Structure formats: structure tokens, C-alpha cells
Structure 1
Amino acid sequence: MNLTKPPRILLWIPLLVGSTAWAQPKPNILWITIEDTSPQFIGCYGNEDARTPVIDRLAGEGVRFTNAFSTGTVCSPSRSAIITGVKTYKTGTGNHRSNYPVPESIKGFPYYLKSEGYYTTNNSKTDYNVARAKDFIKEAWHESSGKAGWWNRQPGQPFFAVFNLVDSHQSRTMTESYAWYEQHVLEHLEEAERIGNDDFEMPPFYNDNPEMRRQMARVYNSIKLTDNKIGALLTRLEKDGLRDSTIIFFYADHGEGIPRGKTNGINLGYRVPFVVWFPEMYKDLSPWGTGVVTDELVDFTDLAPTMIRLAGGELPAHLEGRSLLGADRSEKADYLYLSSDRSDNGIDKVRTVTDGKFVYSRNFMPFMPEARYIRYMEIGEIKQQMRKELAENKLNDLQQSLFAERSAEFLYDIENDSWETNNLATDPDFKPILEQMRSQLKMEILRARDVLLLPEYEIGLISETTTPYEFRLKDQNYPVEEIYKASSLSGIRGKKVSRQQLKLLQSDNKIVRYWAMLGLRSQRPEYLRACEPEIVQAMKDSYPPVAITASAMAFQLFQNEAAENQLKQFCVSDNMDLALMSLNYLLYVDNKQPFVEVVKAVREKKISIYNVKAACADFLGSLGLLPNNTDFRQ
């Protein structure tokens, strides 16, 4: 599928022309955000099977970006980067639904628009992934609710209004039951609007059969309903006489909410549809013109500085993104740096760089597969069907690879391989590109002092006395080069590297030891058979993340009884980060039976941390001891 090729037929829906508003010195700004959607499923990005005429028209009259990327692959980290304008590996907010503080000096960017006289409204999703969220939200918005909009501002007051449409969310496209989807999506579409099960091309990483098509049709119909609602919102803007004084931004919060998309650090998880529409009176603010397509690189940390400059404000020092519009816009970017960390109960760590033509991802926990256990996905019928077909040996090599350990490095040609089916990381012809991308990513990790090289357990401890953002800037407390050197070995498989990792287990730095152990976890079993004494000894490490990882390995490789007992103790830990780490390791051991009773006990505890409950449900579900569709909240 060519994402830059126009669709075969572009449907035209006339938009009513409202009364002409008087020219304002500052433009109104409308954001229309949708959820969990990749460009591959939008008509104006080349999908001839999609039915998105409103989005297509907006793109046809505005500026369509082919290289726009979310900074994360799941909603709350993505929204954290949007609202703060700071990458999550600097703020420490990259783990989905966490509660860590940011410095008082970092405001939600609408705060700065308010200072310039804007009426700021949010309708209505927040999910900003920061501590003291209520105060943070109150400071940013005049109104944040399901009733918020431009209509409550003072006469003539410029507005910044966000509308978040949820109809393309993963809950609609895969997580809720098919009956729920029929009631909340299909029944809201006219018969002629509905996309049938055989009316689209299947992604090659899914088995092409009637059951999978039935599930994939949900994506197309949910996006169609979203398109209808965008049309209704634009009609209201017209009727209020505001269309000709409002700059409109349209984008999705991250990639498509299907297995292998959302939560995964590849192009399908990061890349988003992104359109900016300019009315006649503000066309001069577009450096690209209008009715055009641009391949300029954009990520979500560019949004805050762009909005503040549009409003006429000065940029606070913590913003490092680009200002995209106007005569004083920033220099173009050559590369974008992206990240993907824990999603719900599925721990992970991926760092990514892209130039828009290639995407390079470094998997620091490659023993976790792309289709790893995440309860919010496991309860979806599409994921259950995939696991069923895997067990029945009905999947081809590409489709099976979603459930296998990953390579340490991915390199995809996203211009010519939009579904990312061919990993070029080991192709000699692409070695210069691989090395350049690898070098760029290393420079960014060190320059940013990526605080999420620390395990989440450590982020929690840091947050008791300071913010992760500030901690990472203290050289003596955070020797990032030493830590990165150890982490850079994780996922590189071979005897030579495993010997280096064994040596690093003797380091005085607990985080270096953690990465040494995590790196050993990714080694092939044949390299580890001779390492039993060192692994067993590491079970006694004073730093719990090292001891837990060593215990998981000792149990899996050597059936060590002390390791079994220690894992059981950590599962019931009062520290939820340690409990979650232990449970995640247990999901991938061969012999789960000894842990059934302790996992049942943890699931029955009265705890509010849904990640731990979700991991317990995944563990029991994998053994057939819990119905696959059991929600983690139950």
C-alpha cells in the first residue's frame, strides 16, 4: 500500500459556508484528535478501501503530513508528551498509567495560551500520566469536560479547543465483545456506510480467513463512524460562523490499536495521520501552502511550541520541540527520536529513530515478543483467534514471528515496506544506514540522559523525593554513560557478550548489574548452561530487580527450588513494581504450575494497581484457568 498515493475516488462532501467572522489578530485553533489509528487505514493516505470522506476533504484542502509520529505507542505516554511538550524518557512518564511527578515549572502548554488571552477547552480526555493530575488539568484548561467547547468564551475571545473522539479506540476495534461493537458502532452507521468483511486488504502479518476479516472490519467501521463525527463537529463550527477564522489540526494519538500496532515500538505503533487546515485569512502562516502534501518530519513535542507561538507567546525553556508555522518557524528536523515502554501489565523498553524513509528500533527487552501478554489485548477476540491459530500451526513464518522473541534491532524501509515485513538489520546492503541510525540513537539517549534506562521500581523511589526529570540532570547521581554501556549489550546474543554481562554483574552500580542480568535474560539458553553458579549467586543481590530477574532465569533454566520460592515472595510484595516484574517473568516460563496458587492469591488481594491484577489474569488465562475474555478489572 502506497501511503503517499491519493485514493482512487475522493468523495466530496460540501461543507456549509457560515457567516464571515471578523478578522482576529490571533487565530482560533481547533484540535480534532482521534485514537489508535495509523495512516494505512485512511483514504487520503492511499487506502482505497477506507471510507473517510471528511478527513480526506480536510487533507485535500489543507496540509497532509506523511511523516508525523507519536512520541509513544500507547495513549497516556503519548498524551504526556503532547501536554508537556517533553519526551517521556526525560520526564519519566513513559510507562502507561503511571503517577510520577514533573517539575512545577513544566505546565500543561494550554496554560501559556491562557496567558495570551485564549479560552482553552478540552472535550474531554486527559490521561496525562502525571502526578497531581487534577491540579495540572485545572491550571491548563478553562474547562475540561464532556460539555467543553468554544461556545462559553467571551465575545471575540480567541479559543483553543480540543475534541477527542474515541470511536476508533482499541475498545471499539478489538477489546470489547463483538455484540458490544455491533451496538455501539455498526448500529450508528447506515447500511450503505458499512464496510463488509471482504471489502479491504488484510495486513500480511494476519492470517487471511473469515474470522480474522470479521475482526479487522471493526477497524474500518470504527474509523468510518469517527469520520462522521468529525463532519458533525465541523458543521457546528460552520454554523457558529467560525470556520473562516479557525486553524484546524487533525491527528491520531498513536498507531493502530490492533495486535502489533499499539504498544509496539515500530512504525505501525508510532506513525499517525496528521493534517493542518488553514482558513483563507491565515493561509500565510502555512510554510507549505495549502492543498499540499509534505514529508517534513513532525512529532508530538512539536505541538506545544507551535501552539504557543501561534498564540503570540514566548517559549518556556523546557520546550525542545520545533515551532512549525509562521515566518519564524524552526529548522527542519533530520531525525525524530521516539520511545515505547510499559503498556499496562506488558513491560518493555524500545528506543527508535526515524528519518521518514527508514525506522530503526532498538529492543532492550527482546525476550518479550511483539504480541506479548497485555490483558487489555488478550480479552479481544482477534488476539484470542491469533493464539488459537498459532496453537493449531496455521500461521506462516511472518505471522508466527509476532509470538517469538524479537531481534535486538529492527530496521524497516517504511517507504517501500509499509507493513514492516522485512527486517533489514542483518542485510549487508543496508549496513551503512543501520550504523548511522544506531549512532544517532545512541547520541540522543546520552544527550537526553534517558531516565527510563532505570527500572520502574527505581523511578518510583526517585519520585518520593524529587522528579525523574530533575534527577537525570544530576551527574553524580546518574552516570548515564556507564549505564547505557551496560544496557547496549542487552539483546546482543552470543558467548562473548554473555561473558561481558557476567563480568558486569560484579559492578558496584546496581543499575549496571540490573542491565547485566536483563541482558543475560535475552541470551540463548545454550550460552547460559555454564553460567549456573553466577546466576544463582545473583539471586542474592541486594537490588531487587537483579534478584528477581536472576530468580526467573534460575527457575526456567535449572528448576532451582530457591528461585521458585523467591519468585513467590516477590509476587506478593507490597511494592507493585516488583510484583509486576515477577509476574511478567512468570508469563514466559515453561513450567507455570508451581505458581498457580500464589498468583490466584495475588489476584484476590484488594489492590488498586490494575497492572498486577492484569498480569495475574494473563497468567491464569494462559493455563486455561480463567476465561480468555475476563477483564482485568473483574
Structure 2
Amino acid sequence: MRFVLPLFALALASQVQAAPNIVWIVTEDISPNLGCYGDPDAITPNLDKFAAQGARFTRCFTHCPVCAPTRSGLISGQYPTTMGSHHMRSKLVTPPPLFTDELKKAGYAVFWPGKTDFNFDPPKGWADTRNWVQNPDLLPKDKPFFAYINYVVSHESQVRPTPEQYKKNTAKLKPSEFRDPAKVTLPPYYPDHPDVRRNVATYHENITATDYLVGNVLKVLDDRKLTDNTLVFFFGDHGWGMPRGKRWCYDSGTRAPLLVRWPGKVEPGSVREDLVAMLDFPATVLAVAGVEIPKAMQGQVFLGDKPSPARKYAFSGRDRMDETEDRVRSVRSDRYRYVRNFHPELPYAQWQNYGDEMPAMKVWRKLAFDGKLNDVQMAFFARTKPKEEFYDLNADPYETKNLATSADHAKILAEHRTALDQWIKETKDLGQVPEKDLIARGIVKDVLSVEYADRVKLHPKTSPVP
């Protein structure tokens, strides 16, 4: 007797088969310093080939220029400043819903090996934490999957590696792939010093090492014949892990590479110049998977058949960075950046124990105290900050010329100022609430006094300016 599936069952099976697999390849602390972005110091053949197979996004921005708050938004689809996870090294008492939960309800297998770092503890059993790249047999054949992989070789800590770490990180590099520190490009605000150049050269070598790892992931998908039905994102969690990059709401801290490949859906070799926020990633993943987007999510959809209207602004903020207090909010449009410093009485270059381990920062700080910097290099060591900053990225890509008092830019600055005011109100930004009050309300645990109180006592004088 022959068994015949009902029509509705056949339709359901077809939908399940059509649902794309989704892969996130994530690396840490890098700006768009890839060959496909035109960086002359980059050696990234695998990522350049990948970009040619899909789309390269030129204006992708994180909501926070440091890892844990960024990841809390990536996994939840909510701003850290809305949830209370905005301080670096904080911990929410009650974790938010995860976008991966919605995928699992829709029949997806979810793999998330290694690093979480969400500023909260994910619930037990929330994902399969086994390394699917090392063991691709884990990937299911009977249902779609979401698979995350995170590589740390480009992290800030690896820009200043021990000799053993450096040898391990660069083990696969060919002799021609090592960088000559004398030839790398420096931002104009850095002093031209051998230690600075060595850090920047190592940074680029680490990206090449990451490129090899990305090639391994793409080979797994090819070997398993999964490429044609798999949407792949490659991105960095925020900007480069160098001084005045990571932790700061400039392009150097918030702009990251984003490459997307989706055969048949994303045009090969295309370039997308629209604004994309990393908070949009969860909503987009759910939309392309055919899953309803929860109302609590604050991102929008930028891929698929029904994308949201184009963004006008991308918002970001920084708050406490380990033991160092501050509050900064920023608005990025297609051309301009507006920055509001809520503590203008504090210097930019406050001592921060972890960040000040970077040799480039040590040199920069010493030269500031010795009075051996030019005006652009010295600006980061001013005793106070302006209340507002405004930059024209077309004319000033390194954001060194503050136009906040320019009469010619007053109108466009006011538009950005209003947009930030509205965003703070609509998203219920908790940055204005003292952390001790967040602790008292039971929103976050007391990480500040437990882990960082002693560090503050060790801080030396920060600014050479009286």
C-alpha cells in the first residue's frame, strides 16, 4: 500500500527545506581594514573573495564600541541602555529573551560555541555549545540551523601579544604576509613612534590570521554542500582595539566591516552604502527565517523580500569601561557624526588599566606629558571635553575637526541633536541612572565595587594639562 503525504504536509516540508541556514562569523576589535574595503595594508584574500560573492556594507555601526554591551544587544535585539547592560563588565540579574529562542521555536538548530560575554548569564541549554566548525557532522541535515563562530586572534590583547602568543597567532602567515611597521598607515592623531607602528602592524597581521580562519569556515560550508542555501554574515563586534578606537563613539570605535553572502538573494559584488546598525542583525535573521519579530526588539530588517525603510541614523553610546566612569552618546548619519559628552569635566584619556597596557597608549601618554605632541595628537589629552562634537566624515574621516561651533553647520547639527534627544526618550536610556541605583533596583549585580574599587585607587594623574 502506497503512502501519500497530504498536500498541506508537502507544503510544510517545502517550507522547511526552503528556510535558509544562517551563519555568523564574528571577529573582534577590527575596523573595515580589509582588502575589499581598499585598505592598502590589508592582506585578506579569503574575505575579499567572500565579498565578491555577496555584499559589502560600507556603513555598519555597533551600538557600543566595546564587546560585552555590543553582544548583549546582538543576542537580544535590544539596546543595552534600555536593558541596563550598558556598562562594560556589568551583569543583568534577569536576562532578556534571546533571538535564538525564536529560531528554536521555528525549528532551527542553534549552535553558539565559545564566547558569550553578554553582560548576563544565558540560561542552561539555550544553544548547542559544541564547535561545529571542528566537527561539521554536528550540523543537522533534516532542519535548518543557525551557527555562530567567534575568533579572538584580532582582539586588543593580541595586538600586544607575548612572543609565544605572537608566534602562535601568525603561524600560518607566509613571509610576504608580515607587515613592515615603517610602512603601515597611522591616523593623524597618533605619534609616529616605533611602538605605535609595531602595534598597528601586528593588528593587520592578526586580521590576516583571521582571514585564514574564515577560509576554514567557508570551506566547511562548501564541503558539506551547504553554501547555496546558507546566509553568511562576517562582521567585527566594533572598531579596532587601539587607543581612541575601541571604547569611543567615533567611526574608529563604532564602524565595523560587514560582509553578507546569500546566493540567489544578495547580488554578488554589490556594495551597500545604507546605514546598518548591529541591532538590526537579530530582526533581520528572524525575518529571513520567516519568524515573527518580537515587539521588544528595537532593530529593523535590512535583507530579504520585505526590508524596513532605510535608516537615517545609527545610535551608539559608552558608559563605564571597567573601572573608568563616563557617559557618551552619539548619532551617526550617512555623512555626519554628533557626539554628546555628558561629563565634559572628565578628560578623554582617563586612565583605564586594561587599555593603558597597550604600548601605543603608553607612548602616546608619555609624549603628552613630555610636551612632544602636535595639536592634533595632543587633543586627546585635554583636561576636559567639549559638551558637543560634530564631524563631517566626508571632509574629515579621522574626526579631528570639531564643527560643533560652526555657524555653517548649526542647522544640521541641531537635527542630529534632536534625533539623539528623541532616541534617549523613546528607548528609555538608563545611562542617566547611577549604577548604584540600578543595583538597588535589582536590575544589575554589584560588579563595580566587588571587582573594580581597588583599581581606581591605582590610577595615576591622567592629563598633562593643569
Residue in structure 2 matching 1:85, options 66, 77, 84: 77
Matched, 1:141 2:141: no
Contact 2:153 2:210 in 1 (8 A): yes
The alpha-carbon deviation at position 455 of structure 1 amounts to 1.1
Question: Superposition pairs for residues 273-292 of structure 1, below 5 Å?
Answer: 273-279=257-263, 283-284=264-265, 286=266, 289-292=267-270
Matched, 1:269 2:253: yes
Partner in structure 2 of residue 26 of structure 1: 19
Contact 2:350 2:462 in 1 (8 A): no
Deviations along 1:56-84, one digit per CA (max 9) or x if unpaired, are 22112211111110110100000000001
**Other structure's SS at 2:182 match:** coil
CA separation in 2, counterparts of 1:408 and 1:148? 49
Residue in structure 2 matching 1:399, options 373, 377, 380: 377
The count of corresponding residues between Structure 1 and Structure 2 is 447
Partner in structure 2 of residue 220 of structure 1: 204
CA separation in 2, counterparts of 1:59 and 1:155? 27
The alpha-carbon deviation at position 189 of structure 1 amounts to 2.0
Partner in structure 1 of residue 357 of structure 2: 379
**Other structure's SS at 1:375 match:** coil
CA separation in 1, counterparts of 2:170 and 2:459? 30
Partner in structure 1 of residue 48 of structure 2: 56
Matched, 1:611 2:461: no
Residue in structure 2 matching 1:250, options 234, 241, 251: 234
**Other structure's SS at 2:408 match:** helix
Residue in structure 1 matching 2:156, options 170, 179, 184: 170
Give the % identical residues. Answer: 33
Contact 2:111 2:132 in 1 (8 A): no
CA separation in 2, counterparts of 1:204 and 1:346? 26
Residue segments in structure 1 that go unaligned for 5+ positions in a row = 1-22, 469-574, 580-608, 624-634
**Counterpart amino acid of residue 20 in structure 2:** P
Q: Assess, with a 3 A threshold, how the Cα gap between structure 1 residues 400 and 122 changes in structure 2: closer, same or farther.
A: same
Question: Superposition pairs for residues 578-589 of structure 1, below 5 Å?
Answer: none
Residue in structure 2 matching 1:72, options 54, 59, 64: 64
Question: Superposition pairs for residues 513-532 of structure 1, below 5 Å?
Answer: none
CA separation in 1, counterparts of 2:41 and 2:288? 36
Pairwise CA RMSD of aligned residues?
2.3
- The answer to which structure, 1 or 2, has the higher relative contact order (CA under 8 A, 6+ apart) is 2
The alpha-carbon deviation at position 617 of structure 1 amounts to 3.7
Matched, 1:328 2:306: yes
Partner in structure 1 of residue 430 of structure 2: 451
Partner in structure 2 of residue 585 of structure 1: none
CA separation in 2, counterparts of 1:202 and 1:120? 41
More divergent stretch after superposition (238-247 vs 61-70) = 238-247
**Counterpart amino acid of residue 117 in structure 1:** G
The alpha-carbon deviation at position 615 of structure 1 amounts to 2.6
Q: Assess, with a 3 A threshold, how the Cα gap between structure 1 residues 165 and 198 changes in structure 2: closer, same or farther.
A: same
Q: Assess, with a 3 A threshold, how the Cα gap between structure 1 residues 188 and 613 changes in structure 2: closer, same or farther.
A: farther
**Counterpart amino acid of residue 274 in structure 1:** L
CA separation in 2, counterparts of 1:367 and 1:402? 14
Deviations along 1:265-321, one digit per CA (max 9) or x if unpaired, are 222111111111112xxx23x4xx331111111112111111112221111120121
Residue segments in structure 2 that go unaligned for 5+ positions in a row = 1-15
CA separation in 1, counterparts of 2:218 and 2:140? 21
Q: When the two structures are superposed, what TM-score results if normalisation uses the length of structure 1?
A: 0.67
The alpha-carbon deviation at position 188 of structure 1 amounts to 4.0
Contact 1:38 1:272 in 2 (8 A): yes
**Counterpart amino acid of residue 426 in structure 1:** T
Contact 1:72 1:339 in 2 (8 A): yes
Partner in structure 1 of residue 282 of structure 2: 304
CA separation in 2, counterparts of 1:458 and 1:144? 38
Question: Superposition pairs for residues 98-117 of structure 1, below 5 Å?
Answer: 98-102=90-94, 106-117=96-107
More divergent stretch after superposition (365-374 vs 190-199) = 365-374
Q: When the two structures are superposed, what TM-score results if normalisation uses the length of structure 2?
A: 0.90
Matched, 1:151 2:151: no
**Other structure's SS at 1:198 match:** helix
CA separation in 2, counterparts of 1:78 and 1:146? 24
Partner in structure 2 of residue 119 of structure 1: 109
Residue in structure 2 matching 1:346, options 324, 328, 339: 324
Q: Assess, with a 3 A threshold, how the Cα gap between structure 1 residues 342 and 166 changes in structure 2: closer, same or farther.
A: same
CA separation in 1, counterparts of 2:428 and 2:273? 29
Residue in structure 2 matching 1:45, options 4, 28, 37: 37
More divergent stretch after superposition (367-376 vs 214-223) = 367-376
Partner in structure 1 of residue 388 of structure 2: 409
Contact 1:107 1:140 in 2 (8 A): no
**Counterpart amino acid of residue 148 in structure 2:** V
Q: Which has the larger radius of gyration?
A: 1
Question: Superposition pairs for residues 437-586 of structure 1, below 5 Å?
Answer: 437-463=416-442, 467=443, 577=448
Partner in structure 2 of residue 389 of structure 1: 367
Q: Assess, with a 3 A threshold, how the Cα gap between structure 1 residues 200 and 111 changes in structure 2: closer, same or farther.
A: same
Partner in structure 2 of residue 358 of structure 1: 336
CA separation in 2, counterparts of 1:171 and 1:57? 28
The alpha-carbon deviation at position 622 of structure 1 amounts to 7.5
**Other structure's SS at 2:381 match:** coil
Residue in structure 2 matching 1:184, options 138, 163, 168: 168
Deviations along 1:74-95, one digit per CA (max 9) or x if unpaired, are 0000000000100111101100
Partner in structure 2 of residue 433 of structure 1: 412
Q: Which has the higher helix share?
A: 1
CA separation in 1, counterparts of 2:168 and 2:322? 25
More divergent stretch after superposition (151-160 vs 189-198) = 151-160
Contact 1:301 1:321 in 2 (8 A): yes
More divergent stretch after superposition (256-265 vs 361-370) = 361-370
The alpha-carbon deviation at position 165 of structure 1 amounts to 0.8
Residue in structure 2 matching 1:128, options 118, 124, 140: 118
Q: Assess, with a 3 A threshold, how the Cα gap between structure 1 residues 154 and 233 changes in structure 2: closer, same or farther.
A: closer
Matched, 1:160 2:152: no
**Other structure's SS at 1:460 match:** helix
**Counterpart amino acid of residue 108 in structure 1:** L
The alpha-carbon deviation at position 186 of structure 1 amounts to 3.5
CA separation in 1, counterparts of 2:453 and 2:360? 23
